[in-house]
Amino acid sequence: MSTTMRRVIVDVDDIALHAAPVPKPGPGEVLVRTLLAGVCGSDTHASRGRHPFIQLPYVPGHEVLGVVVEFGAPGTSDAGPSGPTLRRGQRVVIEPDLPCWHCKMCTTARENLCENLRFFGCGTAQGGMADYFTIPANRLHAVPDELDDYAAALVEPLSTPVHAVGLAGSVTDKAVVVFGAGTIGLLVLKVALAYGARRVVVTDVLAPKRDLAVRFGAHAAIDAQAGDVAAQVRTELGESADVVFDCVSSEPTLIQAVAAASKGGTVVAVGVPTADARLPMPVVQDHQIRIQGSATYLPHDYDESIRLLRERAVRAEDFVTAAYPLAEAATAFTESASGTHLKVLVNVAGTTVGHTASAAEQCHR
């Protein structure tokens, strides 16, 4: 194995490959060879200086599928739970949050809310959009043989909707609204349907995305730029919403979400806001509406995402719309931000197995 590797670095107006030494795994760590790295909405926002928690320059790659190459010395790199039993050559996906394992959140099984949280590939020294990286073994999840590489690459992005839907409480036989038909919004739609939501309405500003939401099972899709979104939502539901998932989380969508929710309803902020928002607090208080933030995921969300993918409640061929080699990472970022794709992957190893979706064409129909 070479002692040098390629690594993507995102800087102001520049996304480029740089040479770097292959890292050595420390105690309790694993050296992983990257197969696929997804381009997330957080990545495209960060590349334009619009992410509230990621500063330029940074090393991207937190949606990662790889292969175990080497183990560090026996021991542990932190005080967290032990990692899974792993073997060389095994495919793994990473859980990119890097908790301290000592704070109140970590010691009460809420490590996604760690008071000292770092997030791999979002401001750390390493990211997965590179030939190799090291990471604590307890941040790795083994990939079952039934999942091809493209399906495995969806485990991390699917875990965010799984976590959000879980925080909302049961959506079984509930009236549900999803604001935003991007990748996360459409995954929320799929999860809500898999969990037995009675009726799901989706909103988006783009007609092709609205059409895609209906093809993915939404009962109706509404133009998010209409002047009476909340009223249209209630008409299509035939009632007010029990749960609203805001996958945009801007001030206008949050206000619309509150208006669409029923008395006693729940609004879950899933998207990463780029600024503060003012809410109609008299309505929130008087209608006893719960405003629930949703931050990343926990290990059981990964287990549930793998189950949904294995059972094909979520299909990779519906979501993976393009894959580019590592040398074309800049193009992958551009295409991911274009609005014509769902999930764009960077095929780092060039040896992955899976099916690229026709959803890119669907988005244009």
Q: Write the pLDDT tens digit of every residue in 112-159.
A: 999 999 999 998 999 999 999 999 999 999 999 999 999 999 999 999
**Whether residue 262 is found in the same domain as residue 342:** no
pLDDT in tens, 300-316: 999 999 999 999 999 99
Q: What percent of the chain has pLDDT over 90?
A: 82
pLDDT in tens, 174-205: 999 999 999 999 999 999 999 999 999 999 99
Q: For residues 85-113, give the mean pLDDT.
A: 96
Choose the final residue of a domain: 235, 261, 293: 293
**Whether residue 165 is found in the same domain as residue 287:** yes
Which helix (H) or strand (E) segment holds residue 161: the answer is helix 155-167
| 49-65 exposure pattern, b = at least 16 Cβ within 10 A, e = fewer | eebeebebebbbbbbbb
The reported pLDDT for the residue numbered 362 is 45
Pairing of strands 140-142, 4-11: unpaired
**Whether residue 112 is found in the same domain as residue 217:** no
- CATH number, domain with residue 358: 3.90.180.10
In a domain, residue 305? The reply is no
The reported pLDDT for the residue numbered 186 is 98
In a domain, residue 208? The reply is yes
**Whether residue 22 is found in the same domain as residue 133:** yes
Confidence of residue 50 (pLDDT cuts 50, 70, 90): confident
Q: Is the pLDDT of residue 361 over 80?
A: no
Pairing of strands 91-94, 63-71: antiparallel
**Whether residue 39 is found in the same domain as residue 121:** yes
The reported pLDDT for the residue numbered 250 is 93
The reported pLDDT for the residue numbered 364 is 40
Q: Which tokens is 217 given?
A: 């099972």
In a domain, residue 298? The reply is no
**Whether residue 34 is found in the same domain as residue 143:** yes
31 in Cβ contact with 132 (< 8 Å):
yes
pLDDT in tens, 252-282: 999 999 999 989 999 999 998 888 999 999 9
In a domain, residue 308? The reply is no
Q: For residues 241-257, give the mean pLDDT.
A: 96
Confidence of residue 357 (pLDDT cuts 50, 70, 90): low
The reported pLDDT for the residue numbered 360 is 42
Please count the structural domains in the chain.
Answer: 2
For 17, the domain range is 4-154+314-362
Q: Is the pLDDT of residue 355 over 70?
A: no
Q: Which tokens is 357 given?
A: 């979706």
**Whether residue 47 is found in the same domain as residue 135:** yes
**Whether residue 191 is found in the same domain as residue 122:** no
Confidence of residue 365 (pLDDT cuts 50, 70, 90): very low
**Whether residue 81 is found in the same domain as residue 187:** no
- CATH number, domain with residue 258: 3.40.50.720
In a domain, residue 307? The reply is no
In a domain, residue 198? The reply is yes
Average pLDDT, the chain: 92
The reported pLDDT for the residue numbered 338 is 87
Phi-psi region of 209 (alpha: psi -120 to 50; beta: other; left: phi over 0): alpha
**Whether residue 194 is found in the same domain as residue 280:** yes
**Whether residue 274 is found in the same domain as residue 136:** no
pTM of the predicted structure, to 2 decimals: 0.93
In a domain, residue 358? The reply is yes
Pairing of strands 14-21, 4-11: antiparallel
The reported pLDDT for the residue numbered 234 is 96
pLDDT in tens, 65-83: 999 999 998 776 676 777 7
Question: Measured between alpha carbons, how far apart are the two ends of the chain, in Å?
Answer: 46
**Whether residue 149 is found in the same domain as residue 30:** yes
The reported pLDDT for the residue numbered 77 is 67
In a domain, residue 175? The reply is yes
